[in-house]
Amino acid sequence: MKKVDILAIGVHPDDVELSCAGTLLKHMQLGYTVGILDLTHGELGTRGSGPLRLKEAEAAAAILGISERVNIGIPDGFFENNVANKLKIIEVVRECKPDIVLANAIEDRHPDHGRSAGLIYDACFLAGLSKVETVSRTGEKQAKWRPRVIYNYVQDKMLIADLIVDITPFMDQKMQSILAYSSQFYDANSNEDESPISGKDFLEYIKARAQSYGRQIGVSYGEGFTASRPIGVNDILKLH
Ligand SMILES: [Zn+2]
């Protein structure tokens, strides 16, 4: 992956689209570079399969106009915050050198999300230690790199946001990217088992959630994030 300003990391392909695709689109329009790192293939999802979700993730990235997307294929559901998984994330972070990382929700209905948030936090910290040695995919020793800050996007469980990004102009494109995961979300022709996210009401809820965060900052649609430390700003007039 090339150097990016923002790296959005999700444990399941579709976490990023559901929770922070609007923020990525907005910052791309502002001229920043973005990438996506998926940790698993999402092979334990009620619907679909790992290979299908990888194809859907590619289609979603194309809708968002994001060319930098990688998947490190750790096991869905049963992954641990262990040395091997941390090193896989460290290698990607050192390769694409993000200034800001957007990561899974610190707590959520799905236990993978909070566990992933801890794994990402630890990996980003360790990536900044020179004595943690890793090599690139082309075999060179990697230099240390620590992202400036990690923001955790809000997922299913409603959390009080520390930061809300106005995504109003990008709401439709975000919804299109979500619909690329046709095995996961509402599809009138699907014969697969229902899941908590497969109904039409779930897509309406995603919009309602964005409206709710948007309303808190006086805009139509927003995406909410929590921060692990106070947010420092240079120009308070640039804030909503
Ligand atoms: Zn997920």
pLDDT, tens digit (0-9, with 9 covering 90-100), for 99-151: 999 999 999 999 999 999 999 999 999 999 999 999 998 899 999 999 999 99
How far, in Å, from the CA of 217 to the mean position of ligand 1? 26
What does each C-alpha distance from 41 to 83, 109, 157 come to in angstroms?
A: 20, 19, 22
Contact (CB, 8 A) for 57 and 38 = yes
How far, in Å, from the CA of 15 to the mean position of ligand 1? 5
Instruction: Give the gyration radius of the chain's Cα atoms.
Output: 17
How far, in Å, from the CA of 76 to the mean position of ligand 1? 10
187 pLDDT band (50/70/90 cuts)? confident
How far, in Å, from the CA of 20 to the mean position of ligand 1? 12
Can you give the pTM of this predicted structure?
Answer: 0.95
Contact (CB, 8 A) for 92 and 84 = no
Q: Determine the Cα–Cα distance for residues 208 and 139; give it in Å rounded to an integer.
A: 47
pLDDT at 240: 83
pLDDT at 20: 98
Kindly tell me if the per-residue pLDDT of 29 is higher than 90.
yes
Residue percentage of the chain with pLDDT more than 70: 100
pLDDT at 131: 97
How far, in Å, from the CA of 85 to the mean position of ligand 1? 17
Give 34-80 pLDDT, tens digit per residue: 999 999 999 888 888 889 999 999 999 999 999 999 999 999 999 99
How far, in Å, from the CA of 191 to the mean position of ligand 1? 22
How far, in Å, from the CA of 16 to the mean position of ligand 1? 9
Q: Determine the Cα–Cα distance for residues 207 and 39; give it in Å rounded to an integer.
A: 26
Give the pLDDT mean for 80-90.
97
Side chain identity at residue 214, one-letter code: G
Q: Determine the Cα–Cα distance for residues 105 and 10; give it in Å rounded to an integer.
A: 9
Give 143-171 pLDDT, tens digit per residue: 999 999 999 999 999 999 999 999 999 99
Strand partners for 150:
101
pLDDT at 90: 98
pLDDT at 191: 80
Residue percentage of the chain with pLDDT more than 90: 84
How far, in Å, from the CA of 130 to the mean position of ligand 1? 32
How far, in Å, from the CA of 14 to the mean position of ligand 1? 7
How far, in Å, from the CA of 25 to the mean position of ligand 1? 20
pLDDT at 197: 80
pLDDT at 188: 78
Give the pLDDT mean for 4-13.
97
Strand partners for 71:
38
178 pLDDT band (50/70/90 cuts)? very high
How far, in Å, from the CA of 59 to the mean position of ligand 1? 18
